[in-house]
Amino acid sequence: MGFWEALILGIIQGLTEFLPVSSSGHLELGKAIFGDNSLPEESLLFTVVVHAATALSTIVVFRKDIWTIIKGLFQFKRNEESEFSLKIIISMVPAAIVGILFDEQIEALFSRQILLVGCMLLVTGGLLFLADKAKNTNKPVSFQNSLIIGISQAIAILPGISRSGATISTSVLLGIDRDKAARFSFLMVVPLILGKIAKDILDGALGADFVNSMPLVVGFTGAFCAGLVACQWMISLVRNAQLRYFSYYCFAVGFVAVVVAIMPKV
């Protein structure tokens, strides 16, 4: 993977992690367009690294909220901070279970599965379209809702299902305030990404000898900078009920990906 390829893919990750159009799906499409011939392990490693960059950008943007979560974890009395921390933990459980039990199967999905990505982008488009039509209310995130949102995050492990799109759409359809939905969606993924990185370090995946560090550094930098911009932009878009525009985009890209995948190779 060259310098410009890594930079563009990093920027794609940084933008699409927060915009509801599936970062994993766009990364796989981008790799296919560039003709990336990396080994599956290298491809997955690059994906993990750029996801780490967007996790860091989330931490920077939501540093006050994250400090609230940390304080809540170390409090032994029931208050708003401790309850919010518990809701974040509950939301992590479904994706953590899926990640642990089906790690090898998930890794196999990140190998230029264009037809799968296209189909799942169509599903993402449908979710966003429905969420944009939902009536806005001021409901907070409840314990029950945090589990439901967590299940949608687990399903979004599939490339092409937007994690932010799935979790925000689910939240809005449950009647949760749009601003609270966006913030909760972005905060709930940070521990999972950091946990995934920790697992890969312990497994030795990030220290593989075949890895060229240059694309990783470039991709990380591009993803981090793009993530800072996209994160704050997305909150404004959700608040102003503009998700339908992204649904049209997902429908278009998903349709093209499906057509390209099923067309006979010349």
Digit-coded pLDDT (tens) for 194-212: 777 777 667 665 555 555 6
Digit-coded pLDDT (tens) for 15-26: 887 788 777 677
- What's residue 43's pLDDT? 63
Nearest one of 247, 255, 253, 251 to 130, comparing CA atoms: 247
- 135: buried, middle or exposed (CB in 10 Å: 19+, 13-18, 0-12)? exposed
- What's residue 146's pLDDT? 93
Flag whether the pTM goes above 0.85: no
Task: State CA 150 to chain mean position distance.
Answer: 13
Digit-coded pLDDT (tens) for 129-184: 988 888 777 788 889 999 999 999 999 888 888 888 899 899 989 988 888 888 88
- What's residue 76's pLDDT? 64
Name beta bridge partners: 176: 139
**Alpha carbon distance 165, 248 (integer Å):** 13
Digit-coded pLDDT (tens) for 178-196: 888 888 888 887 877 777 7
**Alpha carbon distance 202, 209 (integer Å):** 15
Q: In this model, does residue 109 exceed pLDDT 70?
A: no
Under DSSP, is residue 137 helix (H, G, I), strand (E, B) or coil?
A: coil
DSSP-assigned letter for residue 139: B
Q: In one letter, which amino acid is 255?
A: F
- What's residue 26's pLDDT? 74
